């Protein structure tokens, strides 16, 4: 493997990440075109339904003839099928590059090696698996939706020093500090959806939108058995789309949550309440936990979700501690 491969693949990761919050359910993809050790074109997938990264990179090159015998770097195998856009692999082949260097093979059954095979059949060198694990982490939501046929699930909550998620009046607001809350709004802006239970809506009446960060609002999912909530709650305002989930119970939890992939929802951030979070934990239905630990104490109240974890490694956000755990 040539030493510079990693450098240019790293550049594709950087470009791909610019599409966060705008391309789902498509993956994050960046593309770099290099000729004589110089970048002559680059692009990324900017918005779902629009040009893919490879086409944007090609379009950034003024003289398309210069792409001939160049090296093209992409973090994900180019598509080989017709979707909302034509196959990118066909456009790449037309330009006759000397090699195409890829981080990850696309697990989508419509692609899954077909793009790589087509490139090789045209006599173009293909190099794969460059920074493979890092590429998979970048597109963990997309890879998970294909592999596990369900959304990538992040459980998030804030708890007091004495392990409470709400006070005696069931008020859970402002346990964490203002900067921590800004982090949460940033997270919301890049996830497809946000989920809460009916009790959280009744007690907190949240908007579940992005207010402390620039970005689009996630789809709001509310577990609303027997449709006990009414349209007066903020979660049903016009700031974002809301989906009622009223046919759910512990027996069909995995099936109902999995079916959301069919609605192009490939990531969920679950923000409460404690009952709902505990159900996801009990069913081992999660990929990440993001837990804020505050210095505040409540004199009685609702216990935080029950989960044992090592409280050693954390990020400091002023006077809050942020623990991020991954389900292995």
Q: Mean pLDDT per 10-residue run, the chain (328 residues)? A: 90 98 97 96 96 96 93 96 82 95 96 95 96 98 97 97 88 86 96 96 93 94 88 93 91 95 97 93 97 93 88 90 94
Residue with tokens 């994900």: 76
What residues have CB less than 8 Å from 163, skipping those under 6 apart? 303, 304
| Beta strands 315-317 and 38-44, pairing class | unpaired
Domains in the chain: boundaries: 5-142, 148-326
pLDDT score for 15: 98
| Two domains, one topology: 5-142 and 148-326 | no
| Beta strands 302-303 and 288-293, pairing class | unpaired
Q: Which homologous superfamily is 148-326 in?
A: Dihydrofolate Reductase, subunit A (3.40.430.10)
pLDDT score for 230: 83
Beta strand segments in the chain, E: 30-35, 38-44, 71-76, 99-104, 125-127, 152-159, 164-166, 193-197, 219-223, 242-245, 267-272, 288-293, 302-303, 315-317, 320-326
| Beta strands 193-197 and 71-76, pairing class | unpaired
Annotated catalytic residue within 10, 42, 54, 159: 54
Indicate if 54 belongs to the active site. yes
pLDDT score for 183: 95
pLDDT score for 121: 95
What residues have CB less than 8 Å from 138, skipping those under 6 apart? 13, 16, 17, 28, 75
CATH, domain range 5-142:
3.40.140.10
SS3 for 312? coil
pLDDT score for 312: 78
């Amino acid at each position: 493997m040539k030493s510079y491969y990693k450098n240019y693949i790293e550049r594709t990761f950087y470009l791909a990440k610019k599409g966060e919050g705008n391309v789902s359910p498509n993956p994050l993809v960046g593309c770099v075109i290099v000729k004589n050790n110089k970048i002559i074109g680059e692009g990324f997938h900017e918005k779902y339904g629009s040009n893919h990264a490879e086409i944007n990179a090609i379009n950034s090159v003024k003289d398309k003839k210069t792409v001939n015998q160049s090296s093209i770097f992409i973090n994900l195998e180019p598509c080989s099928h017709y979707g909302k856009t034509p196959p990118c692999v066909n456009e790449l082949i037309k330009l006759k590059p000397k090699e195409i260097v890829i981080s990850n093979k696309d697990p989508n059954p419509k692609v899954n090696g077909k793009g790589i095979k087509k490139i090789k059949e045209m006599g173009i060198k293909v190099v794969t698996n460059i920074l493979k694990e890092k590429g998979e982490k970048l597109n963990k939501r997309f890879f998970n939706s294909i592999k596990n046929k369900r959304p990538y699930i992040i459980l998030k909550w804030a708890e007091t020093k004495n392990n409470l998620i709400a006070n005696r009046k069931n008020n859970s607001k402002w346990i964490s500090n203002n900067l921590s809350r800004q982090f949460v709004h940033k997270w919301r802006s890049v996830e497809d959806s946000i989920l809460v239970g009916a009790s959280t809506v009744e007690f907190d009446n949240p908007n579940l939108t992005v207010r402390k960060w620039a970005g689009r609002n996630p789809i709001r999912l509310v577990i609303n058995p027997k449709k006990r909530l009414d349209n007066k709650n903020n979660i049903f305002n016009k700031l974002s789309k809301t989906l009622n989930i009223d046919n759910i119970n512990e027996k069909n939890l995995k099936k109902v949550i999995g079916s959301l992939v069919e609605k192009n929802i490939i990531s969920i951030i679950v923000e409460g309440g404690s009952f709902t979070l505990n159900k996801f934990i009990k069913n081992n239905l999660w990929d990440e936990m993001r837990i804020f630990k505050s210095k505040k104490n409540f004199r009685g109240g609702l216990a935080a979700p029950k989960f044992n974890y090592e409280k050693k490694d954390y990020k400091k956000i002023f006077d809050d501690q942020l623990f991020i755990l991954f389900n292995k």
